[in-house]
Structure 1
């Protein structure tokens, strides 16, 4: 028998046996439906651990306990097993289970019948269409019973499913109902089951000022994913972002009307839906959370434009229509749902493998609940993708390491302002694969990219440096003096789009693959949109070259990381287009090595062919002559000494910083004018290809 101190003595209470029997007959339809698919129910290890933890807590004279289990972890089965063990050990006990939506009332009732077909259950829920009163185990909808405690009778244990919905204010449906139950049975125990141990509107559920005395058991999201009980989640930083700067707050959340106005900007909706369609091309169940009813309708219309089946479910959707839409969605007749509020809890669709957040929130609980819709396992589902267009991941952190704001502050500490809370960063984006990582991560959990130590190299000029670890310092960018773009050709592969960024002493290159399929082509299109280019993005190199100056503005700077003998460009910052200045597109020229004495392609060479010198064949495969001026025009050769003289004007050689700057700007202009480039070694060569 369970060691439960507060339940030590059996209670004596008159029971309406006739009513109880009548409810059994009325529920025969439910029992037959469950009996038809009855199977052996076996608890997962963490589910059994949570139940043991609760009874041990009670055995130590504990009070109201909270069980924290992620969405998809099987809270309904845990709840059913608690009820079964209580009644098998204390037959005179009476148990109440209360929640907020009819779907959960039905789901919980069906789960206990699957575990225990003869369970003495009753249901009081207008949504379900039942008003049972005297069963040993009562499943109830809070909207139907919050003023009905006298009719329902006393409860020894009250379990609240989705306990995070219990408001802090006691003058609410939950507050009044729980208070009335405690008035009837002062030593009644309250049990909460939730995926988020903090309210959607304010503060934690446990501890000082909370409804529950302690978290009795908490399952770790990461552990359950690794053990195969939850679906793996992946994320990508999105290019489209809803701007939340300056939004006012009320009751700890963004004001809905202001948030809705920002989210309904047509270009934001168009760009966001474009990214959703690209990322979700091979995904089956899309779920998009929106800011309001009109926003959800706008997003639905844009999704339909892309040829995707989509419907909207909101609090205004009629019950029959809503049931039909959800039924069709679960049957995969509908690929995408846009929603406002109603699908954040109690919605069980295991095939959801893409969740898009177009709804900013300051509520950590709401954030976890929205993302949690993707946790459930399904046949053929390898993972689920989270696309955050509202800064929620950065604001709250990875879903397995969220850090909700506590109400108030420690004694002697100044509480953060709303602006400081909004600017708090709890996640960062991997520059290599755009996956979200915990703010303290040293390497990316997906691609293994390692963030460099946050120690800036010494430079002779003054720079912004933190004197304390708590002082924020903005990332440093390398200033770009000019940009050139051209078609990059490589034998045996598709052409690429090459950008070259000239700084005061070095050039850096990046290649984009507009004509490639799959991930590389997708990344090129996402780059174009991210740099301010119009949509749709170019699909060919020729189109990208033609549109570049008209749509992509001035490059402000780049951030680079050394990788072997080359540098990786981690990020770029462009001003909005168009570009006003000399053309940055380098026009294609005839092959200077073609013809007698030039280079020819030999298809029999290693690696599928290479260039070799003609007519004499003394160069090895793929290598060019040692003379860097080979193939240059006379004008290019003549200008090289002038460029070298300009680059020689440095502070070390006695020039002022301004003289050095002006000289290097002029040198880079000449490089671009004559289609030359300066390598890291200082050697000046034809602006040509680096192996890609």
Structure 2
């Protein structure tokens, strides 16, 4: 008897399975983030074990075996009956009624015999031998198979699972408070028109990784990621999803240079190192986890913001990653998502991606496919041209900044600008908040003076005005230690100023270069021209000698 009570989604799934149990041999349970699929597995397993029947639970990765076994024991399943299919593991015992294994282990050895139920977690992952096992069990031995997935969108699933069980949706979980809401922004959108498409077993059709990595490693795009987070990330615990290790390292270095502690975690990061990195993140020592091919399954830390810098065509990849930020936590109303990949424009919001049938390769249903594509296009969000907030389909006036576009203006958007400061419905700052910011700006000024790189009183006043739209009149000038929020804002301003100065210098030098290339006139005119060029170069600090 388990010591937990089934939630709404779990109870619905159990009722649906009981209803169709005799009619079908294989089931795919559509179990979104937050619906409790490990708990559902425990309820199903308990029903078999209580009758002396054997259950094999398959996890997608070795790292999740111990985690699943601990959860089963916490839920009340008999720990003495939980065995591991894992060579040399102390709990390796083929005679126990509950066997837990990783898919990678099973495909390298003979499949266990005499099981009564096979449960496969993350069943959308394509592993040829596992699919052959499913077909053999359901067609020849009549052993029941239950697949679990929050993203059962893989095109082959309909050929191996006979019945889709859909107990809930992401939208319903949000409405019931099981998952939090989201706020999507699209500060930048890379040009991927020339990137080829490839296919993987895990995510299906998607952009070719090496080509998209080359684009996303551009200094301007990475700079936008850092400056946008400094301005609008609110110092929230954040996960950044990158294309490959090189891209992740570059993003991490740029954040560290800006004074933000970020660490890289990849699929090849050793297990012990991974636990330490995640621990530092949960304690607040690390502010941003930069991920490559990991933090998808089995990662339940409190994530308040997501930087999505991994362009994708895969609905599975999109939902799996965004789902990391949708879990609820105290004081968390919504997860901020900064999409620097164009994926939200391409695929839509996570709660708008739904299927009522298991996908399977069709033989020419072109009209139906075209109709579904048109319906999906109608549901895609639109970007506000002012604040880059992603508006739901059919929403005309931006709910974030109140901007009302002219007819047709929100069809094509400017994707080269950074995310602007939100306004409109934003709560007006209090006098206490203004005083706090001004005191911290003064602290920063004194800190710079001690370092020998002072900033002027005018700079301080203009920094305050940029933030609040008013001058710091009537405020006390006593200094207060910098907070991460104010520090990040100042760093953002410095980066933006440096970019603007570089651009202005390039524009000012251009006429000088054109002048120097002009054809010579008389000797006197040529001498006057050289004197003028020299003076311009000296004034602009381009050089001291011709």
Matched residue of 2:350: which SS? coil
- Given that residues 33 and 170 in structure 2 are in contact (C-alpha distance below 8 angstroms), is that contact kept between their aligned partners in structure 1? no
| 8 Å Cα contact 1:102-1:125 kept in structure 2 | no
Is the contact made by 1:134 and 1:153 (CA closer than 8 Å) also made in structure 2?
A: no
The question of whether the paired residues in 1 share the 8 Å contact of 2:209 and 2:243 is answered with yes
* CA positional deviation for 1:319: 3.1
Trace 1:393-408 onto structure 2 (pairs within 5 A).
Answer: 393-402=344-353
Deviation of 1:97 (Å) = 0.9
Deviation of 1:64 (Å): 1.4
The answer to whether residue 94 in structure 2 is matched with residue 133 in structure 1 is yes
1:260 and 1:309 map into 2 onto residues whose CA distance is 23
Could you tell me which residue of structure 1 aligns to residue 192 of structure 2? Answer: 244
* Pair member with larger Rg: 1
Residue 70 of structure 2 aligns to a residue whose secondary structure is: helix
Give the alignment partner of residue 282 of structure 1, picking from 203, 222, 235. Answer: 235
TM-superposed deviation, 1:49? 1.1
Q: Tell me which residue corresponds to 1:165.
A: 125
CA contact 1:76–1:107 (8 Å) conserved in 2: no
Q: Does 1:84 align with 2:72?
A: no
CA–CA distance in 2 between the matches of 1:198 and 1:312? 29
Q: Retained in 2: the 8 A contact 1:314–1:339?
A: yes
Counterpart check, 1:55 vs 2:15: no
In structure 1, what is the Cα distance between the partners aligned to 2:206 and 2:225?
A: 23
**1:112-127 matched pairs, under 5 angstroms:** 112-118=72-78, 120-125=81-86
1:45 deviation in Å? 1.5
Partners of 1:224 and 1:216 lie apart in 2 by 16
Q: How does 1:91-490 map to 2 (within 5 A)?
A: 91-118=51-78, 120-125=81-86, 130-150=91-111, 152-167=112-127, 172-179=128-135, 181=137, 186-199=141-154, 203=155, 205=157, 207=158, 209=159, 211-238=160-187, 240-251=188-199, 252-283=205-236, 285-349=237-301, 351-402=302-353, 410-411=364-365, 426-431=380-385, 433-441=387-395
Q: What is the CA distance between 1:514 and its match in structure 2?
A: 7.0
CA distance in 1, matches of 2:126, 2:8: 28
Q: What is the TM-score when the length of structure 2 is the normalising length?
A: 0.69
Give the Cα–Cα distance (whole angstroms) in 1 for the partners of residues 353 and 88 of structure 2: 34
Q: Aligned equivalents of 2:401 and 2:8: distance in 1?
A: 31
Secondary structure at the counterpart of residue 288 of structure 1? strand
CA shift, 1:102, in A, is 3.0
Alpha-carbon offset, residue 329 of structure 1: 2.4
How big is the alpha-carbon RMSD for the aligned residues of Structure 1 and Structure 2? Answer: 4.0
Q: Note the C-alpha offset of 1:182.
A: 5.2
Distance in 2 separating the partners of 1:325 and 1:401: 33
Verify the 8 A CA contact 1:146 1:177 in the aligned structure 2.
no
Note if contact 1:65-1:215 (Cα within 8 Å) is conserved in structure 2: yes
Structure 2 segments unaligned to the other structure (5+ residues): 200-204, 415-430, 435-461, 471-491, 512-546
3-state SS, counterpart of residue 373 of structure 1: helix
Tell me, in whole angstroms, the C-alpha distance in 1 between the residues paired with 2:347 and 2:90: 39
Partner of 1:69: 31
Q: Contact (CA 8 Å) 1:247, 1:255: kept in 2 or not? A: yes
Structure 2 counterpart SS, 1:143: helix
Shift in CA distance, 276/352, structure 1 to aligned 2, threshold 3 Å:
same
**1:664 corresponds to which residue?**
none
Task: Give, in whole Å, the separation in 2 of the partners of 1:53 and 1:408.
Answer: 27
**TM-score with structure 1 setting the length:** 0.55
* Matched residue SS, 1:160: strand
- Higher fraction of helix: 2
Aligned 8 A contact 2:186 2:342 in 1? no
What is the Cα deviation at residue 309 of structure 1?
1.7
Give the drift of 1:339. Answer: 1.2
Q: Matched residue of 2:85: which SS?
A: strand
In 1: Cα distance, 2:306 partner to 2:208 partner = 23
Residue number in structure 1 paired with 2:6: 43
**Shift of residue 388 of structure 1?**
0.7
Q: CA deviation at 1:149?
A: 3.9
The higher-RCO structure (CA 8 Å, 6+ apart) is 2
The answer to whether the aligner puts 1:537 opposite 2:496 as a matched pair is: yes
For residues 397 and 578 of structure 1, the distance between their equivalents in structure 2, rounded to whole angstroms, comes to 43
| Residues 519 and 130 (structure 1), Cα distance of their counterparts in 2 relative to 1, 3 Å cut | farther
C-alpha displacement of 1:178: 3.5
Structure 1 residue runs without a partner (length 5+): 1-38, 457-472, 478-492, 495-512, 522-532, 552-575, 582-692
Whole-angstrom CA distance in 2 between matches of 1:242 and 1:476 = 13
Displacement after TM superposition at 1:267 (Å)? 1.9
Q: CA separation in 1, counterparts of 2:206 and 2:317?
A: 11
Which has the larger strand fraction? 1
Aligned-partner SS, 1:537: helix
Report the CA distance shift for 1:396/1:415 in structure 2 as closer, same or farther (over 3 A): same
Partner of 2:480: none
Q: Which residue of 2 aligns with 1:3?
A: none
* 1:263, distance to aligned residue in structure 2 (A): 1.0
Which structure 2 residues correspond to residues 560-575 of structure 1 after superposition, within 5 A? none
Q: CA deviation at 1:355?
A: 1.1
